[in-house]
């Protein structure tokens, strides 16, 4: 085979690979040298805190440090208690679905408000786990990601896994009508959520999205001794920790505190700026 024939076949194979079903272009390198518009979708993990402590402002500062010459605009449309949906029954402990039906819901309102995005970061799982099993969550997450691809062609899609709760500072988990297969009442919430995280990881790999593995990042941080990453019960004062020795409910809030938000934001920014 001549060199020209080899080059021709290499080009054809490259086109076929790019067109292969189930593979998206989201993970390909994108030029963020001048910044861009970032849209955040998700639940209360991205909808915590007030003012400059909110994750969009933390990310903004990190991005400016990474690329001082760039201009970033971040729209945080995450909503506490939200799950992807559409709605199924009357689940407890959630607020509203992102999709009311396949063609209606808050997601379409958000896209109407934001006609352009260079990157979309998605963080769902905890509330979805109260509504449907991991396989159904996977189908809903994939449908959301495909809609984003259609609405924002060429945008980077970043999927984030759920929170991790340090077993030394968390109570056993109890839930009515559990959706996570094989979960035993009173086991740790990490065990309950990990099947949902696996679906997120597998979907990112299959579709070529970018992964911010918040769960594993928090595991690693906890292993280094930095376990204090979450709010206290009723957003209590951490200075009161000595009064709650052995009271795991005091430490059982799943939402990140300021330190946790910093770590989550760092993972999101790294996934966003990843070169390949």
* pLDDT number for residue 70: 95
Region of poorest pLDDT, from 18-27, 58-67, 162-171, 248-257: 18-27
Say how many C-beta atoms besides its own lie within 10 A of residue 191's C-beta: 14
Q: What is the pLDDT of residues 76-99, one digit of tens each?
A: 999 999 999 998 888 999 999 999
Mean pLDDT of 94-119: 97
* pLDDT number for residue 2: 45
Q: What is the pLDDT of residues 139-168, one digit of tens each?
A: 999 999 999 999 999 999 999 999 999 999
Mean pLDDT of 67-71: 92
Q: What is the pLDDT of residues 43-55, one digit of tens each?
A: 999 999 999 999 9
* pLDDT number for residue 276: 61
Which residues lie below 8 Å from residue 274, measured CB to CB, with a gap of 6+? 27, 29, 210
* pLDDT number for residue 35: 96
Residue 222 pLDDT level (bands cut at 50, 70, 90): very high
Residue 7 pLDDT level (bands cut at 50, 70, 90): very low
Residue 6 has pLDDT above 70, yes or no: no
Residue 18 has pLDDT above 80, yes or no: no
Residue 14 has pLDDT above 70, yes or no: no
Say how many C-beta atoms besides its own lie within 10 A of residue 144's C-beta: 21
Contact 192, 183 (CB under 8 A): yes
113 by Cβ neighbours in 10 Å (0-12 / 13-18 / 19+) ranks as exposed
Residue 189 has pLDDT above 50, yes or no: yes
Residue 3 has pLDDT above 50, yes or no: no
* pLDDT number for residue 1: 43
Domains in the chain: ranges and CATH: 30-273 (3.40.50.1110)
Mean pLDDT of 223-248: 94
Q: In what order do the strands lie in the sheet with 119-123?
A: 71-76, 35-42, 119-123, 156-160, 210-212
pLDDT averaged over every residue in the chain: 90
Mean pLDDT of 57-64: 97
* pLDDT number for residue 27: 57
Q: State how far the Cα of 7 lies from the Cα of 163, in Å rounded to an integer.
A: 47
Q: What is the DSSP string of 17-33?
A: HHH-TT--STTS----T
């Amino acid at each position: 085979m001549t060199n020209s024939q080899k080059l021709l076949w290499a080009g054809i194979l490259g086109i076929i690979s790019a067109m292969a079903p189930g593979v998206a272009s989201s993970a390909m390198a994108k030029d963020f040298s001048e910044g861009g518009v970032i849209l955040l979708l998700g639940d209360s993990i991205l909808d915590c805190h007030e003012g400059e402590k909110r994750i969009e402002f933390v990310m903004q500062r990190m991005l400016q440090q990474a690329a001082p010459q760039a201009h970033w605009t971040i729209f945080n449309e995450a909503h506490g208690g939200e799950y992807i949906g559409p709605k199924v029954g009357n689940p407890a402990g959630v607020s509203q679905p992102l999709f009311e039906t396949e063609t209606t819901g808050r997601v379409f309102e958000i896209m109407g408000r934001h006609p352009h995005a260079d990157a979309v970061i998605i963080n769902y799982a905890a509330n979805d786990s109260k509504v449907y099993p991991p396989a159904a969550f996977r189908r809903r997450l994939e449908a959301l990601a495909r809609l984003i691809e259609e609405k924002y062609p060429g945008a980077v899609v970043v999927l984030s896994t759920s929170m991790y709760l340090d077993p030394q500072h968390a109570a056993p988990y109890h839930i009515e009508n559990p959706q996570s297969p094989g979960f035993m009442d009173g086991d740790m919430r990490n065990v309950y959520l990990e099947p949902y995280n696996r679906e997120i990881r597998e979907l990112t790999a299959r579709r070529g999205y970018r992964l911010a593995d918040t769960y594993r990042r928090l595991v690693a941080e906890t292993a280094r001794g930095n376990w204090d990453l979450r709010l206290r019960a009723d957003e209590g004062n951490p200075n009161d920790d000595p009064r709650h020795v052995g009271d795991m409910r005091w430490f059982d809030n799943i939402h990140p505190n300021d330190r946790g938000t910093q770590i989550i934001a760092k993972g999101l920014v790294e996934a966003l700026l990843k070169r390949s």
